[in-house]
Structure 1
């Protein structure tokens, strides 16, 4: 091997980080301090990084530039909703991409083993390895982890309001949103077609997850398991919603009598009231009318994980 080839082989990984300038972590630190801290953390982990912060409306364009750079690994920095909005760009990449989770819940970040401080997450990125993951699609709208209606969509909307009301405390915002969601959720009638079998339910919530969530902390052992899970929170009024919320926090939700689960690779959900309803996609909320056709996209994305392909 020549000296030049040896130097190339030993060259550090180069990353292009595109962050949501409106993410809570960025606002708390300030954009300049955030960019500096991220750059220093990459260097400390033996990597190089170019950091750019973009307004949410410009984020896709900046991220597409990073994805098209043949000499860098594109990384999107933001919460689950930011990552959701970036999926249509990320799947254009023919190479692994990275995420830097900056949200409150960070469902996908936890599944990828990217937890802890910002420096620990970045070290995980630099030392991590690519895994393949499935995505979900609802009539062309992509999501990476969770979609739902009823209680879960109300919770997502209330959380956005609470974050503006309590910008100084994520915990207080979350508690405020959860309390209002428990109080004001109303039952919905939903027709479900799963693997060709029809069911009609009256529920406080219907939650669809890409692959199975297990364990106490709502993590997925497999990101490429090739199935949806559908969780139905039976209607039972305020008390049952409180019990279900407690079971989700304590990790006993799998054995909760208020929650029934199904699985399949393709499904359709139809609200029987025919009204436009709120649907959440990884924490982001849209109003949708008519039937929702869920389709699984197996191994649609390569993403860097600080964990084994299967826990």
Structure 2
């Protein structure tokens, strides 16, 4: 890490109550050690999008994105074959990938972690050809994303927004009939949700134990009646879902999900809600991204 480009999302959640320029200066000073050249830009809107898309080019060897899952997802997609390492400064509200690699959410601690970070290669997935780094789901999960946005518009903090969003999502989610094909083997489910993850959630708190298993895992929440639906929803929120008999998990490299003749469905992928064409075709892309992780993090991924 000798020449570092840092792109900060000025509209990121944790910057809303801070002086963005002061944060920019702090980042520049903290990372400019041992003769590193560091360029830090505070951007938003289309300017940020353009900068992230162009970040795979240029003389820098490392790109650090400060923002939430949307900014990180865009950066991950733009760094295919770039030869540059991607670092994350978690400034959003969910920070899925940052959570998995053990990146601290405190800005100062995160900068310390980035200063001594090591580089690993991690898997990514594709949904209908578009890359993503962690999770993609529909049914309850897409309704949860929509409801969370509603709760935020109401001005609720995260402490209240998450349970209220879960309640709204459960009310809005009905039974869906899906066909799930994993590596050529097909099964039919009457469900109210399905979630696809890049590698498996084997750690506590919805955390992936490894990022280089070369696997996808699909989790189908079966519709077994109103009480079972409520329990499954509660288990999903409290991290006790592995023991729920109504939640079926299947792993493989290639997953296709169809929904009874429907042409499109809402899908939440790494926190981004989109209207996707059916069937949904997921593939794993092994070791597709070079990622900076805290030096103290467990040995997840393959050290490059």
Residue 97 of structure 1: SS of its match in structure 2?
Answer: strand
Partner SS state of residue 257, structure 2: strand
In structure 2, the partner of 1:155 is 144
Matches within 5 A, 1:227-266: 227-266=215-254
| Residue 176, structure 1, aligned to residue 164, structure 2 | yes
Structure 2 CA distance, aligned partners of 1:251 and 1:139? 29
**Deviation, structure 1 residue 191:** 0.9
Matches within 5 A, 1:76-225: 76-166=65-155, 169-225=157-213
What is the CA distance between 1:199 and its match in structure 2? Answer: 0.9
- State how far apart, in whole Å, the 1-side matches of 2:107 and 2:82 are: 25
Structure 1, unaligned stretches of length 5 or more?
A: 1-11
Q: In terms of mean alpha carbon deviation, does 29-38 or 211-220 score higher?
A: 29-38
Question: Which residue matches 1:35?
Answer: 24
Q: Whole-Å Cα distance in 1 between the matches of residues 187 and 80 of structure 2? A: 33
User: Tell me, what secondary structure is at the counterpart of 1:302?
Assistant: strand
Question: CA-to-partner distance for each residue in 1:129-149, whole Å, 9 max, x for gaps?
Answer: 011111111122111000011
Structure with the bigger percentage of helix: 1
Q: Is the 8 A contact 1:84 1:281 kept in 2?
A: no
Q: Which stretch shows the higher mean deviation, 264-273 or 33-42?
A: 33-42
Matched, 1:57 2:38: no
Q: 2 CA distance for matches of 1:290 and 1:248?
A: 25
Q: Any idea what SS the aligned residue of 1:28 has?
A: coil
CA contact (8 A) 2:214 2:286 kept: yes
Q: Which piece of structure 1 moves more, 74-83 or 293-302?
A: 74-83
Q: Deviations over 1:213-253 (max 9, x none)?
A: 11321111210100100100111344333322332343321
Q: Within 1, Cα distance between the matches of 2:70 and 2:228? A: 28
How well do the aligned residues superpose, as a CA RMSD in angstroms? 2.3
Distance of 2:226 and 2:90 partners within structure 1 = 33
After superposition, the Cα gap between the structure-2 partners of 1:174 and 1:48, relative to the gap in structure 1 and judged at 3 Å, is farther
